[in-house]
Amino acid sequence: MAVMTHLRDVKMIKDKTLEQIDPMKQAIMLMKKHQVKMDEDFLVTLETNKSQLKDVSEKALGPVKESILPLQNQEAQNIKGRLARFGVVVQEFRIKFQNTLPYHVTDSSPEIINGAYDQITHFYIETCKLENEAKELNNLETLFDLQRSSYKQLKDCKSELISLKEMWDLVALIDMQFDSWKKTLWDQIDTENLT
């Protein structure tokens, strides 16, 4: 795993760095064109570093990668199994999520509202745990050059939790407002001063 991490880092650094060298060379040539004084060896140093980076990356990504390829393939298969099991867990969580959370308001009272908030909090915590595990698995997918999973169900859960929280905030606000109005003694209000 440590070797795979280093190989991934070498590959990422190599790609990013090589993308930046040509624009740097163009900037140097433009500066020379406009007679900006600079070290003459900078362009040579840049080209030397580019070739050294290519050599290091070829050595790292060539023989080293070939020597660990059997182990990499075996671990990739283990990770694929882990991904499949996690996919089932996410699917089951999504079904439980949709069947348990209070999507429809049929009645409101402080107890019902508090119960809804407790369910939303519980599922938020569980969704965050699953998202963290998904990030770990995505990191492994990147490390072993596997197709990256998106886990749309978790994104849907997070989005619906936000909407549910907002809905229950409105329900709580309206319930408290009506509760306040119910306590008002309307027959004792001076209606003449209201108009």
Give pLDDT tens digits for 132-179: 999 999 999 988 888 999 999 999 999 999 999 999 999 999 888 877
Check whether residue 101 and residue 169 sit in a common domain.
yes
Of the two residues 95 and 15, the one the predictor is more confident about is: 95
**Domain ends where: 66, 95, 122?**
66
Check whether residue 62 and residue 2 sit in a common domain.
yes
Q: Provide the 8-state DSSP code for 62.
A: I
Check whether residue 117 and residue 50 sit in a common domain.
no
Residue 94: which domain range? 76-182
Check whether residue 127 and residue 100 sit in a common domain.
yes
Give pLDDT tens digits for 68-127: 778 888 888 999 999 999 999 999 999 999 999 998 878 888 899 999 999 999 999 999
User: Are 108 and 126 spatial neighbours (Cβ–Cβ below 8 Å)?
Assistant: no
Does residue 151 lie in a domain region?
yes
Check whether residue 105 and residue 58 sit in a common domain.
no
- pTM for this entry: 0.68
What's the CA gap between 124 and 126, in Å, rounded? 5
Of the two residues 75 and 195, the one the predictor is more confident about is: 75
Does residue 193 lie in a domain region?
no
